[in-house]
């Protein structure tokens, strides 16, 4: 790996993960550690600004090898490529219950679509449109942290607790 590539990986580990507090606090989901790190990685790529013509950018591409290095997954082009595919499929297949402002509950998926290409080593994902209120144009009641804060965690519960604690940290004031 060249020094430029190494610098770029370290820079991406510092990208911000931003999620609405309702997504963190009021939902019921169970993701594995790898799935949580993958969603944090995807969230770190989100461009949260709205454009007039196309709305929010829901589709993202990433290099599987780069994702593996950032998230600490040993990548050997064979088994781990399949593991990445499996993780993306699980995120595509999983849904969660979210409580809407009117008190009703609805199921929402994480990903609408995931496509991988072993030859190019590229993964293409599309976020579920129902995730827009929880990931885009967040002006208040959101949680943000740098991606590297969760990359070293060894338990799915650690990531979940970290996000929950961060989501309530805005309430703490020093008097």
Domain boundaries, the chain: 3-171
pLDDT at res. 125: 97
pLDDT at res. 78: 64
Q: Do residues 74 and 80 make contact, with C-beta atoms less than 8 angstroms apart?
A: yes
> Strand 142-146 vs strand 16-20: parallel, antiparallel, or unpaired?
antiparallel
Fold of 3-171: Arc Repressor Mutant, subunit A (1.10.10)
Kindly calculate the radius of gyration of the chain based on its CA atoms and give it in whole angstroms.
Answer: 16
pLDDT at res. 175: 44
Cβ contacts of residue 34 below 8 Å, gap of 6+?
71, 73, 83, 87
- The label of the residue with tokens 């993780």 reads 87
pLDDT at res. 173: 47
Q: How many CB atoms lie within 10 A of CB 106?
A: 11
Q: Which structure tokens are listed for 96?
A: 């969660």
pLDDT at res. 172: 47
Which residue in 166, 172, 170, 124 sits closest to 16, CA to CA? Answer: 166
- 88/94 Cα distance (integer angstroms): 10
Which residue in 26, 42, 20 sits closest to 110, CA to CA? Answer: 42
Q: Do residues 15 and 146 make contact, with C-beta atoms less than 8 angstroms apart?
A: yes
Q: How many CB atoms lie within 10 A of CB 49?
A: 9
Q: Do residues 163 and 149 make contact, with C-beta atoms less than 8 angstroms apart?
A: no
The tens digit of pLDDT for each residue in 25-71 reads 877 778 999 999 999 999 999 976 655 466 788 999 999 989 988 98
Structure pTM?
0.87
Low-confidence ranges of the chain (pLDDT < 70): 48-54, 74-78, 170-175
Instruction: Let me know if 74 is exposed, middle or buried by CB neighbors in 10 A (0-12, 13-18, 19+).
Output: exposed
């Amino acid at each position: 790996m060249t020094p430029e590539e190494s610098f770029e990986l370290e820079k991406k580990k510092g990208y911000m993960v931003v999620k609405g507090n309702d997504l963190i606090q009021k939902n019921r989901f169970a993701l594995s550690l790898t799935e949580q790190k993958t969603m944090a990685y995807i969230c770190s790529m989100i461009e949260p600004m709205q454009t007039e013509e196309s709305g929010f950018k829901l589709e993202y591409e990433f290099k599987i090898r780069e994702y593996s290095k950032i998230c600490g997954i040993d990548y050997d082009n064979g088994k781990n490529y399949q593991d990445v595919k499996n993780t993306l499929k699980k995120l595509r297949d999983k849904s969660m219950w979210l409580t809407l402002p009117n008190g009703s509950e609805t199921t929402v998926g994480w990903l609408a679509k995931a496509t991988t290409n072993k030859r190019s080593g590229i993964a293409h994902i599309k976020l579920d449109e129902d995730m827009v209120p929880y990931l885009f144009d967040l002006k208040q009641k959101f949680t943000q942290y740098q991606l590297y804060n969760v990359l070293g965690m060894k338990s799915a519960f650690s990531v979940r607790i970290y996000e929950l604690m961060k989501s309530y940290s805005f309430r703490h004031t020093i008097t």
